[in-house]
Amino acid sequence: MRTSPALRAAALATTVLMPLAGCSDGDGGGADRGTPSTASTASPPATPQKLADQKLDWQPCPAPSPAQGSGTTPSPLPGGATWQCSFMDAPLDYGDPDGRTIELALIRAAARNQDRRIGSLVFNFGGPGASGVATLPSFGTAYDTLRTRYDLVSFDPRGVGRSEGVECSDDETLDARYEMDGTPDDAEEEQAFVDDLKSYIADCEKNSGGELPYVGTTNAARDMDLLRQVLGDDKLYYFGISYGTELGGVYAHLFPKNVGRAVLDAVVDPTEDAEQSSIGQARGFQLALDNFTADCAERDDCKLPGTTAQEVQDWMADLLAELEKNPVPGLGERELTQTQATTGIASALYSKETWPLLEQGLDEADGGNGGLLLALADSLNGRTEDGHYDNSNAANAAINCADSAQRFTLEQTRAALPAFRKASPVFGDYLGWGLMSCTGWPVAGAWKTPDVSAPGSAPILVIGNTGDPATPYAGAKAMATELGRGVGIALTYKGEGHGAYNGGSACVQKAVDGYLLEGKVPASGTVCD
């Protein structure tokens, strides 16, 4: 996602569009994984004191590694403050805490007002698979108000970026994989789809098989509690976005007494299983597409044909059908296929700010130039302009498959497709076929749905955006309910795009800043325009 920094930041803070059902135990045998319907986790094993007492060696940050997405060294913050990076040792397997350790990459920017410093505010930007070390600096100015009293801290979760990043297929293989038909229409295409999935999983097992059982969300939550201790904080102060909200909910369940002030923005529904979540995401992207096409149809200067939203969408459907038969030139020697075009459309729907790029890309693709839509797809797929892929999608697969226990057969997937098509004529097939993403994964998933109940936790501010395409608004209500009475504090933002805090609402920012900086808990049910 190198083409547009704004798009890269928006898209990273989400679950990747492919509806990856679950795949590995992720726990290393250290806890009770619960029943297939929900996960009920026993008391976490104690962390060795030597790890809790480790001292971090903070140094100037290098440029992001290829696994983190490459790029340049982080720019200084307002006032000249610089970013610092370090590594923290954590157990590979919390069931064997004195065994092998792994290094987790960290980044921080010191609080501006050290006299009033509260502690460290830890960010997770979602994915799963987003590099917090690479992403936080791109949001530096957006969170500068919070830096008045917090060190801003983020990390690459295990399996991500520089934290024992999961490796699957090479760049050339990934290029071919993303070009192939992701919505097979006949037996031959179905077989090609299944064969590609088997090949990809075999690559993941070959290159990272020793880490795959330990990259799940439960272990990432335990890593955050270790990070809290190493940073010297009695409580975890936390800002989770998209998948980061699920991570935050699991943390609160495991360590309710250790929760300080926490915010969950763009909330994953913890009550939905893999299929329900994917159908919900299909509806969410369809809603965003409806809003985009309605805006286009209402404007005299829109480049796309159609006087109603439906007419614009019918034209788009015709374009996608034509691209399935006849791809158009894209970037270099690569062509824009139907699947890449669908990915590019989804990529631009994460933020209203990228709607103009979507309009332009669709218009150019209709004229035979697929470069912009392919660049948008590259953004979501983690491909840089030099042809290298970061490890965000590999990590996404590994973490999702470590968490979700569901495995879908070809027959079950075919049977589910009508419901997906009803949810979204454009994205339904694409997301429906993604149900098979963890079929054949080498280790079993942990849960059908995670347990996020957190009795005894401090209040957690849960923000839902009514126009969110990737994490539909209903998820915020469900999360607030599941966290428990007096814990989940619901706030609604009537907006567009993925997430709320950076959506331009002064009301949302006032509520979040007031809670994190001053401890002022908003009234549950607050609505912001």
Q: Report, as residue numbers or ranges, the catalytic residues.
A: 242, 468, 498
Q: Are 316 and 362 in contact (CB under 8 A)?
A: yes
Q: Return the residue matching tokens 């803070």.
A: 13
- The whole-angstrom separation of Cα 133 and Cα 153 is 9
Q: Is residue 54 exposed (0-12), middle (13-18) or buried (19+ Cβ within 10 Å)?
A: middle
> What's the rounded Cα separation, in Å, for the pair 12 and 94?
28
* Nearest-angstrom CA–CA distance, 482 and 118: 28
- Residue 439 contacts residue 416 (beta carbons within 8 Å): no
C-alpha to C-alpha distances, 377 to 69, 184, 344, 496, nearest whole angstrom? 15, 19, 4, 20
Six-digit token string for 345: 């459309």
Residue with tokens 């729907």: 349
Closest among 249, 236, 222 to 516, alpha carbons compared: 236
Tokens 């006299």 locate to 115
Q: Is the peptide bond before 472 cis (omega within 30 degrees of 0)?
A: no
Q: What residue type is 390 in one-letter code?
A: D
HSE, CB side, 13 Å, CA atoms: give it for residue 414: 10
Pairwise CA distance, residues 18 & 428, whole Å: 11
**What are the phi and psi torsion angles at 214 (to 5°)?**
-120, 10
Helix, strand or coil, per DSSP, at residue 144: coil
Please list, in sequence order, all residues whose beta carbon lies within 8 angstroms of the beta carbon of residue 90, skipping any fewer than 6 positions away.
51, 101, 102, 103, 104, 158, 222, 223, 226
Dihedral sign, CA of 26, 135, 88, 151? negative
Token representation of residue 500: 């709320």
3-state secondary structure of 467: strand
